[in-house]
Amino acid sequence: MLRMAPGEHRSVAFSDEAELEPVLAPFVHEGLAGRDKVLYVTDVTHPAVATGLLRGWGIDPDAHAGRLEVRTLGTSDPDVMVAQLTETAYRARDEGYRALRFTGEMSWAVREGTDSLTAFETKVQALFDSGVAMGVCQYDRRVFPPVTLSELQRLHRGTDVNLEFDGALLRIRRSVDPPGLELDGEIDANAVDELTRALASAVRREPGDVHVDMGRISFIDLSGLRALVDTATSLKQGRSLVLDRVPEHVAQLIGLIGWDKAPGLRVRGGDARWSR
């Protein structure tokens, strides 16, 4: 569902490794299924751990030796990093690949400072613009200050650090106030796995109630409603899944099924989202 083309430059912000999967697993899969070479650069994570993550996503690095490489960043100099990426990308082209897919941990920038980070992101964008590469930069929310994260949002063209999932029919963003998720689009059985994953990570991330803004949902089927209810009923006592701005017909469906009385679920219509 990711579908990235050479030249694109995205980012993913995460609080635990499970949140990388929805973005990175399709990113790597697509490259291997297509005609790209894949480079995964780690910083604080041991390469063996990253290799383990890939295996967990159903990607066997051994089976793609020479095509999928996991390596540790050997430098903190943005110029050297981009030079190495440029060389790897052009070598991939010479070997007959369409482009280099790069993903890397950006935690080094916390040590080096914002100027280095900006220099890297700007230079790497120039490399991507030449059409030989594309990339997803990984930002660990636990180490980056919120100010830096919102700055990064500007640097990653057309991307959004709060974006959890960007499918053909559904977009899932994290929200900070109220804490939870914003859903935009249509939810059917094809999107349920992504929704369930995003809900589970919001439940792990937030200590209290988890809000889901339904105001831009134009369609949701029974399987989507079930994913919401299952998440709500699995919450510990005292926590709720709060559905905000629920469209009238969706509220009616929830009532018909009897899920308006499900433990842990609160359904609010209209603009009740702002009146707590």
Partner 1 sequence: MEQMIHQASLYGSDQEFLEMAVPFVRDGLANGEPVLVTTTSGNLELLGEALGEDATRVDHAETAYYGRRTAQRATAFTRYWRRNSGHRRVRILAEPVWQGKSTRDVLAWKRMESGLNVLLDDTGIWMICPYDTRAVGAGIAEDALRTHPSVSADGRTARPSATYADPLDFIGRCDAAPLAAPPAGSVSAPLDEINDVRRFVAAEARRRGLTEESASLLAVAAHEAARYLGTPLTAGMWEDFGAVVCDLRRPGKAISDPLAGFRPPGPIERAEDGLWLARQVCDHVDVRSDATGCTIRLQTAGPRLQTG
For partner 1, the binding residues (CB under 8 A) are 169, 186, 188-189, 219, 221-223, 226, 247-249, 252-253, 256-258
| CB closer to partner 1 out of 227 and 242 | 227
Identity of residue 269? G
Rg (CA), the chain: 20
Minimum distance between the CB of residue 31 and partner 1, rounded to whole angstroms? 26
SS (H, E, C) 11-60: EEEECCHHHCHHHHHHHHHHHHHCCEEEEEEECCCCHHHHHHHHHHCCCC
For residue 121, give both structure tokens. 């992101």
| CB closer to partner 1 out of 226 and 266 | 226
| CB closer to partner 1 out of 130 and 218 | 218
| CB closer to partner 1 out of 20 and 229 | 229
64 φψ region: left (φ > 0), alpha (ψ -120 to 50), beta (else)? alpha
Minimum distance between the CB of residue 184 and partner 1, rounded to whole angstroms? 16
Distance CA 135, CA 177 (A): 29
- Provide CB contacts within 8 A for 87, sequence distance 6+: none
Minimum distance between the CB of residue 2 and partner 1, rounded to whole angstroms? 19
| CB closer to partner 1 out of 209 and 230 | 230
Minimum distance between the CB of residue 8 and partner 1, rounded to whole angstroms? 25
Q: Give start and end residues of each alpha helix (H) in 63-189.
A: 78-94, 108-112, 114-129, 146-155
Minimum distance between the CB of residue 188 and partner 1, rounded to whole angstroms? 7
